[in-house]
Amino acid sequence: MTRADPTDVLLVEDDEHVRLATTQSLTLAGLRTQGVESAEAARAWLQPGFTGVVVCDVRLPGDSGLVLLQGLREQDPELPVILVTGHGDIGMAVEAMRDGAWDFIEKPFAAEHLVEVVRRALAQRRLVIENRRLKAQLDDQRGAGPASGLLGASAAMEQVRTLIGTLGAARVDVLIHGETGSGKEVVARTLHAAGGGRGAFVAINCGALPESVFESEIFGAEAGAYTGANKRRIGKLEFAGEGTVFLDEIESMPLALQVKMLRVLQERTVERLGANTAVPLACRVVAATKVDLLALAAEGKFREDLFYRLDVASIALPPLRQRREDIPLLLSHFCAQAAERLQRPAPAWTPVQMAAWQARDWPGNVRELRNFAERWVLGLVNEAPPAAMPIASQPAALPQLPLDEALADMERRWVMQALFECGGNIAKAGERLGLARKTLHDRIRRLGLDADAYRSG
């Protein structure tokens, strides 16, 4: 094994026979183990980025295991170091645990006990490494300019960010299509920021605005234009100035007002109710819908010409079930926000829990995931980590999905099933699926799965 190879356990033991026997026990348990004879050799092996754990004898030639522990704590306070002690060193080991040792094992020890302790330490280590990776990914995306609010490393979200970068400065009208809770307003605000953030961002929910006040709210009104209009009212389109007007649930706009909106967008001017002069329209209009507007137009419930006028450029926002690999990043972000707001620690999750969450469909999309994060931080999620993936023990009918999405969903289920049945062993799962190891590894990464979550023991 070379330093470039992934290592689960670095064993520091000066007795060659004990070192070889212990290395063999750990290796037979499926743990990639490297043995060295001294603290000095261990330091040379432990390069930055080491993701495993350290098992170290207290008494070593040269620097002791306690000296090595102190140095490793300074280098990486979250690196689990398991000390191996003789009977006379137990008091010393207990004191070392107060100083940051993860656990200690007394000689002579059973191989099964050592494997159990190492597995627990390694599971904790993987959680730490995953949290660091997610934090680094969040930091990178937060510093990525106006589109930094759109979290996710999936290809679908990369495409959305690219579109926003292209459309932001162009300031053309945009139609956003996405399911409820998928983040349409976040995209609209990001477009506004990408356009320089000039003027105001004005959000209007067309479905929540009463029809009786719709026209005056959107287009404005002069004093005396209708009963109760005692003074001039500036409409939302005019108020936005050079900013952005976001028309959410555009499909709910009354048909009679769709005609006037069409004229406003064509002429780029707006007339207040009761006025005879037109005011130039300087804002960008971003509309959003969760339905097929052309299908609605075919039913006579939406103006086809307004659809084409709004659809100068369009952004299709994928539902969460089509970008499951983004769930860990999003959940980490939402949990951090909730923890800060609620003044509570953000609890960690296990790889098995995350694998189960990634298998969910999340019909409420990102909004549902955000609410779930709130409950998770509050300790209101009453679910134990599943012993097995639901797909392995409770087969269910496939959801009604478009063909490409259904095929992707089936692929994910098959891969999850194979990983579960093979205990996370990629080579064996590849044989079962008829795929080369590297091919399956690439698919696991693309699907956002974690093979380690399926390891037995």
> For 35-54, how does the pLDDT look when each residue is reduced to its tens digit (9 = 90+)?
999 999 999 888 877 889 99
Which segment, 25-34, 152-161, 228-237, is predicted with the most confidence on average?
A: 25-34
- Residue 94 shares a structural domain with residue 196: no
Q: Is residue 91 part of a domain?
A: yes
- Residue 172 shares a structural domain with residue 250: yes
pLDDT at 397 over 60: no
- Residue 251 shares a structural domain with residue 396: no
What pTM was estimated for this model as a whole? 0.62
- Residue 23 shares a structural domain with residue 74: yes
Residue 185: give its domain's CATH number. Answer: 3.40.50.300
Helix (H) / strand (E) element for 277: namely: none
Separation between Cα atoms, residue 208 and residue 185, nearest integer Å: 15
Residue 410 domain boundaries: 321-454
- Residue 160 shares a structural domain with residue 119: no
- Residue 286 shares a structural domain with residue 404: no
Nearest of 230, 446, 434, 286 to residue 358 by alpha carbon = 446
Residue 38: give its domain's CATH number. Answer: 3.40.50.2300
Q: Which residues lie below 8 Å from residue 379, measured CB to CB, with a gap of 6+?
A: 347
Q: Which of 303, 318, 333 is the last residue of a domain?
A: 318
The arithmetic mean of pLDDT across residues 437-452, rounded, is 79
Burial 58-73 (b: 16+ CB within 10 A, else e): bebeeebbbebbbebe
- Residue 192 shares a structural domain with residue 336: no
Q: Which of 292, 318, 344 is the last residue of a domain?
A: 318
Q: Is residue 2 part of a domain?
A: no
Q: Is residue 147 part of a domain?
A: no
- Residue 164 shares a structural domain with residue 311: yes
Q: Is residue 3 part of a domain?
A: no
**pLDDT band, residue 412 (cuts 50/70/90):** confident
- Residue 325 shares a structural domain with residue 415: yes
- Residue 308 shares a structural domain with residue 174: yes
Separation between Cα atoms, residue 11 and residue 111, nearest integer Å: 14
Q: Is residue 239 part of a domain?
A: yes
- Residue 121 shares a structural domain with residue 238: no
DSSP SS3 for 315: strand
Q: Which of 79, 105, 139 is the last residue of a domain?
A: 139
Q: Is residue 15 part of a domain?
A: yes
Nearest of 199, 362, 342 to residue 282 by alpha carbon = 199
Separation between Cα atoms, residue 403 and residue 398, nearest integer Å: 12
pLDDT at 406 over 70: no
Q: How many domains does the chain have?
A: 3
| pLDDT tens profile 246-302 | 999 999 998 988 999 999 999 999 888 878 888 898 899 999 999 999 999 999 999
| pLDDT tens profile 52-103 | 999 999 889 999 989 999 999 888 988 999 999 876 667 777 777 777 888 8
Q: Which residues lie below 8 Å from residue 21, measured CB to CB, with a gap of 6+?
A: none
DSSP SS3 for 400: coil
Least confident piece of the model among 198-212, 361-375, 439-453? 439-453
- Residue 48 shares a structural domain with residue 113: yes
Separation between Cα atoms, residue 292 and residue 296, nearest integer Å: 6
Nearest of 417, 443, 422 to residue 325 by alpha carbon = 443
Q: Is residue 287 part of a domain?
A: yes
Mean pLDDT score across all residues of the chain: 83
Q: Residue 14 has what pLDDT?
A: 92
Q: Is residue 384 part of a domain?
A: yes
